[in-house]
Structure 1
């Protein structure tokens, strides 16, 4: 009898049950996309943490530390934690006070409806890549712990996340995030205790760091490229901002973001440390991303391994349900619903649920044909985000810019990154796209704005 499979199945059924129960509380678009704007600090904090702490935060950072030491883990956990911290300090209260539904609403208020729609169109692929990455990771775990094929496992994974996200919306999302966040922490701590208790474990960490530091000759620009992708690429992600907007006050939004950033660093240090220690204890692994499961197999009992597997699955589910809601919010609220402004709240929710289903099914196709998880995640943080960062950051803190400059920065930044990254294979594609977006934004800002900057006050 496969007890790991039984444990996974039980965990999945609990998630689906929560979605069905919560669905009865959903009456309006705010209920579905923002949990009625009534989250307190505990739920908001755990939801922000669990949403960002995906499979790559566990498996990817451990593998990067195994291969490259601390030099390989600048983005996760440190870059993403800093991203969440900046949102808490600079933006959480401001966004909440504006009563936005999505981050693209800010672009409409500050610039125009056209800029809003373009912003949403550029943000949707990012969430789409994230969804596909997490679905594939979920399917890979199901396939490796059972006898079913990867294709069938991806199908099962897709069905699970679509069902409880479509029914329960944001409220089901944050409740399951709280459960999943607790399981993530417990599962990683259970593995960390026996690993760190190994003789000379701190010496292993020091030697791995020292070894890779001697061979790390990254330039300042390369380091900046690695840091700016998670920070500028994710700071205005709908998955993060939706938690801010779902809080019951601006102070709750700010406090939750700051606490979540600290949690992210503390918990993120666990797989990082395991990767550093594993480089000395289990050298020569062909696929470094297998170091975390390999250490779990070696140090955990079968019962504890079930809980650890639940922690990894929790990290996946807590991300993928958020990305599906982000796709739904941006597609429905910012693109489809403005075409029919007179429809009822019930009809809005039906449309948003339909988009969740369509988005999940489409992402599963990408997950099936993709070569792996982590390139999808990297592309998700980079695609189109340079222009989005420029127009929102400067739109909030300066009076420069109008519809034309916003559209120029959005299109120019996205096209520059695509050409620089995929065609030219330029090493600093993201930094250069930020600079190009800034140039376009400021060279066109002298045109008279159609929308007053006072709209965002």
Structure 2
């Protein structure tokens, strides 16, 4: 066994031990599904970031950066990070207030409908299982590269690595291991960048070399490599693509089950808002670091195939062994953390939303949830064997954005509109899901070349919203639905504590300050040296640098405004 395999084995043993510890405290479904609703800010931030940044971030998206388009992912992230504070303020805290066990259960209770709950559960099962398959393949690839074992053997090893502790401990174990994994991979992301840049001759030397890299023209420009051999013919088309995906993923991080459901575990509503605020900044910074790292690996080896394994190659071939072990353990941690989240959500959907237990307090419900989760994990393992490797980026983006199309309009309107009927919500979810799947099929099968503005995500969102409005106009909202929504807007008195409000506002100011600092640092360390090295006017790069900082400022300002508007007037000194 080499040092890298030993490092992965030790990290997996640690996660299993933590999961076993957490599982001993699971006594009922409330513990298993939502960790007893007592999680503090650090644990919610940890699980939010960890469940988002899977192997797609460390392999699929860094592979895209390595291939010539780091800027598009950074721009995309700048747009979608605003979705965190918007989601926490306008959906997440109300979701927590509902005291539901899952997001699908919330929809069912909000619209007093078993079929709305069931169809929501089916979308969770489809999207999260697809995501789980991709993450399982990513984790298996990491173990394969490190150990030399065949992919056929490493798939069940990866599968067992996340299934065992998730099956036993549920959300209690997931939230703890997610936070440990988040702290690990966030640390190694910065360490990896520092080493890669140092090997490239230092920061400014690396920027100069990448600016004129013949094998990846325009890799550091605001639009990245575009042209006939890329998905984008022009810089404008690339920009439109990143903006559309940014908006879509903004909706995803605001309402998707693997993000919004984390708020159900929060200790109070201020934890929801603080976690969303901190996560917006952490995700933006981590993606900027990872994308430059992926691009900079070209300075060490410009011919890595497949591109999605560039960070694995760097860790095992260009870094000191100890740092390489930490990098590989961090990448595996990103995979396992997301896999545990997707597995738990898929299992919860079957046992709680599609099947719907007659008595959630029945002790047998806990065992049935574990069996449902085990069935999903076996199905994911089988599908992972059948699907070809190397498509992490595109399949993950497809699976993730299903929720933007099917849930986005319904989620926000369930809180802020009193006109949405049960039928409107039901058919809106189906219309959004169907529109996304149909237009994706047209594109994948090559039946037509869709223009950027007919992106399947946008089509699904628009179809969902139109359907909700059209169907709701022909029906009536029941008294029970009105009453449930009215209760959602009744803020508990405990949330008005002055110290809590003050602390939440301070975190919003911290994000605003981080945005100002980020804009300055990116301009000085990226845009200006790139302009000099590439011999261009640098307007696009400067605008991009300021735009990334501005997105963080907007997210922070939104968090501050929402906190003061919702809690500031009645804040007490208790």
Normalised TM-score (structure 2): 0.75
String of CA shifts for 1:248-267, please: whole Å, max 9, x gaps.
Answer: 11111111121122111112
Match of 2:477 among 437, 440, 449: 449
SS in 2 for 1:13: helix
Q: Which has the higher contact order (CA 8 A, sep 6+)?
A: 1
**Residue 437 of structure 1 aligns with which residue?**
464
Taking the aligned partners of 2:155 and 2:76, their CA distance within structure 1 comes to 25
SS in 2 for 1:26: coil
- Would the aligned equivalents of 2:142 and 2:312 in 1 still touch at CA under 8 Å? no
Structure 1 segment 113-152 matched on structure 2, within 5 A: 113-152=114-153
String of CA shifts for 1:4-39, please: whole Å, max 9, x gaps.
Answer: 112211111121122222222111101001111110
Could you tell me how far 1:212 is from its partner in structure 2? 4.8
Moved more, 142-151 or 305-314: 142-151
Taking the aligned partners of 2:246 and 2:472, their CA distance within structure 1 comes to 28
Matched, 1:203 2:232: no
Structure 1 segment 113-192 matched on structure 2, within 5 A: 113-192=114-193
Taking the aligned partners of 2:432 and 2:299, their CA distance within structure 1 comes to 42
Taking the aligned partners of 1:21 and 1:214, their CA distance within structure 2 comes to 48
- Would the aligned equivalents of 1:124 and 1:330 in 2 still touch at CA under 8 Å? yes
String of CA shifts for 1:67-115, please: whole Å, max 9, x gaps.
Answer: 2334431576445533323222322322222212111122123322211
Matched, 1:25 2:25: yes
Taking the aligned partners of 2:385 and 2:76, their CA distance within structure 1 comes to 25
Moved more, 20-29 or 191-200: 191-200
* Structure 2 unaligned residues grouped into runs of 5+: 213-218, 227-233, 489-574
Match of 2:365 among 324, 337, 348: 348
SS in 1 for 2:477: coil
- Would the aligned equivalents of 1:195 and 1:201 in 2 still touch at CA under 8 Å? no
Could you tell me how far 1:403 is from its partner in structure 2? 1.5
**Residue 274 of structure 2 aligns with which residue?**
255
Shift in alpha-carbon separation, 1:326–1:180, aligned structure 2, 3 A: same
Structure 1 segment 64-83 matched on structure 2, within 5 A: 64-74=64-74, 77-83=77-83
Taking the aligned partners of 1:352 and 1:153, their CA distance within structure 2 comes to 27
SS in 2 for 1:442: helix
Matched, 1:358 2:402: no
Could you tell me how far 1:221 is from its partner in structure 2? 4.9
Taking the aligned partners of 2:316 and 2:400, their CA distance within structure 1 comes to 32
**Residue 399 of structure 1 aligns with which residue?**
418
Taking the aligned partners of 1:335 and 1:311, their CA distance within structure 2 comes to 35
Number of corresponding residues: 455
- Would the aligned equivalents of 1:204 and 1:276 in 2 still touch at CA under 8 Å? no
**Residue 417 of structure 1 aligns with which residue?**
436
Could you tell me how far 1:287 is from its partner in structure 2? 2.6
Taking the aligned partners of 1:399 and 1:205, their CA distance within structure 2 comes to 53
**Residue 321 of structure 1 aligns with which residue?**
340
Shift in alpha-carbon separation, 1:255–1:233, aligned structure 2, 3 A: closer
Could you tell me how far 1:296 is from its partner in structure 2? 2.6
String of CA shifts for 1:136-175, please: whole Å, max 9, x gaps.
Answer: 1111111121132211111111122111001111111111
Shift in alpha-carbon separation, 1:267–1:74, aligned structure 2, 3 A: closer
Normalised TM-score (structure 1): 0.93
- Would the aligned equivalents of 1:414 and 1:433 in 2 still touch at CA under 8 Å? yes
SS in 2 for 1:432: helix
**Residue 217 of structure 1 aligns with which residue?**
235
* Structure 1 unaligned residues grouped into runs of 5+: none
Moved more, 177-186 or 221-230: 221-230
Taking the aligned partners of 1:146 and 1:292, their CA distance within structure 2 comes to 16
SS in 2 for 1:148: coil
